[in-house]
């Protein structure tokens, strides 16, 4: 059994056909799925899906792209949603200096506050970091909480090694299939015991599905590429990354 640790089933076009995509995933041996939120509204949608389907879990959190729309009381609302028993992590939270959809001076405190909340509740964190390696590291160190996964890892191998030493996990998407030497080196640098799989569907289709909507059923394609890069069997990738996800998210 594989686990898709990061999928936006709460986004269109996945949401309107959620049942069909879940069935396709299940039949393709992807038998646990974490539906990741990016604002309050789609946290509620993720929870609805998790309530309806046994093997779907949810997260609660505010993505750096969306925080400019946050209303007063947002942090208390997230804290309340985290009490739901199918909500397994806070996320995705972090910093995005690539798209800069929200002002930088908002991104840093939103990330810090949500990471502090995770620390106070001792729950896992899904971190989004784009072009902000130093700021991400500084905030993690300042809050002094390391129970996190760096999702859709796109930084270099040295950064991966440093973050793993601090206790973080790393997850990869279809980004491992795009031929980036930097990402391939990072995959090789991450011990399999610290690695998890994710699609980030509907985004980032693996290279062989380019131009199509990404779906959770594509997880084995990512596992296959990781097995090839690490020169281990796909069965080993399946077994260990699933164990990692069960342990990390307490599934
Ligand atoms: Ni995502």
Q: What separation in Å is there between the alpha carbon of 158 and the centre of ligand 1? A: 23
Q: What separation in Å is there between the alpha carbon of 8 and the centre of ligand 1? A: 7
Q: What separation in Å is there between the alpha carbon of 198 and the centre of ligand 1? A: 9
Calculate ∠ Cα 125-44-203, nearest 5°: 65
Q: What separation in Å is there between the alpha carbon of 150 and the centre of ligand 1? A: 11
Q: What separation in Å is there between the alpha carbon of 7 and the centre of ligand 1? A: 7
Helix (H, G, I), strand (E, B) or coil at 51: helix
- Locate the domains of the chain by residue range: 2-249
Q: What separation in Å is there between the alpha carbon of 125 and the centre of ligand 1? A: 13
Q: What separation in Å is there between the alpha carbon of 215 and the centre of ligand 1? A: 13
* Predicted TM-score (pTM) of this structure: 0.97
CATH code, 2-249: 3.20.20.140
- The sign of the CA dihedral 204, 107, 86, 3 is positive
Q: What separation in Å is there between the alpha carbon of 121 and the centre of ligand 1? A: 22
CA distances for 128 relative to 90, 172, 231, angstroms: 12, 12, 28
Helix 219-230 and helix 181-189: axis angle, to 10°? 80
Question: Tens-of-pLDDT digits for all 251 residues of the chain?
Answer: 999 999 999 999 999 999 999 999 999 999 999 999 999 999 999 999 999 999 999 999 999 988 888 899 999 999 999 999 999 999 999 999 988 888 899 999 999 999 999 999 999 999 999 999 999 999 999 999 999 999 999 999 999 999 999 999 999 999 999 999 999 999 999 999 999 999 999 999 999 999 999 999 999 999 999 999 999 999 999 999 999 999 999 99
């Amino acid at each position: 059994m594989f686990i898709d640790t990061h999928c936006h089933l709460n986004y269109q076009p996945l949401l309107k056909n959620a049942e069909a995509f879940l069935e396709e995933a299940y039949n393709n041996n992807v038998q646990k799925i974490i539906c990741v939120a990016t604002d309050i509204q789609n946290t509620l949608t993720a929870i609805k899906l998790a309530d309806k389907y046994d093997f779907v879990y949810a997260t609660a959190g505010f993505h750096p792209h969306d925080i400019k729309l946050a209303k007063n009381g947002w942090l208390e609302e997230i804290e309340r949603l985290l009490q739901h028993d199918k909500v397994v992590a806070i996320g995705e939270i972090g910093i995005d200096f690539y798209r800069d959809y929200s002002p930088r001076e908002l991104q840093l405190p939103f990330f810090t506050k949500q990471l502090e909340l995770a620390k106070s509740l001792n729950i896992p964190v899904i971190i989004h970091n784009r072009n902000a390696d130093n700021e991400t590291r500084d905030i993690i160190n300042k809050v002094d909480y390391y129970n996190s996964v760096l999702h859709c890892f796109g930084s270099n191998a040295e950064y991966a090694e440093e973050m793993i030493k601090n206790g973080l996990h790393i997850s990869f998407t279809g980004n491992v299939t795009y031929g980036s030497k930097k990402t391939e080196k990072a995959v090789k640098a991450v011990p399999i015991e610290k690695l998890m799989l994710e699609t980030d569907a509907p985004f980032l289709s693996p290279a062989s599905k380019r131009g199509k909507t990404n779906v959770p059923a594509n997880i084995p394609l990512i596992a296959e590429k990781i097995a090839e890069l690490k020169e281990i069997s796909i069965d080993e990738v399946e077994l260990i990354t699933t164990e990692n996800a069960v342990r990390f998210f307490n599934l």
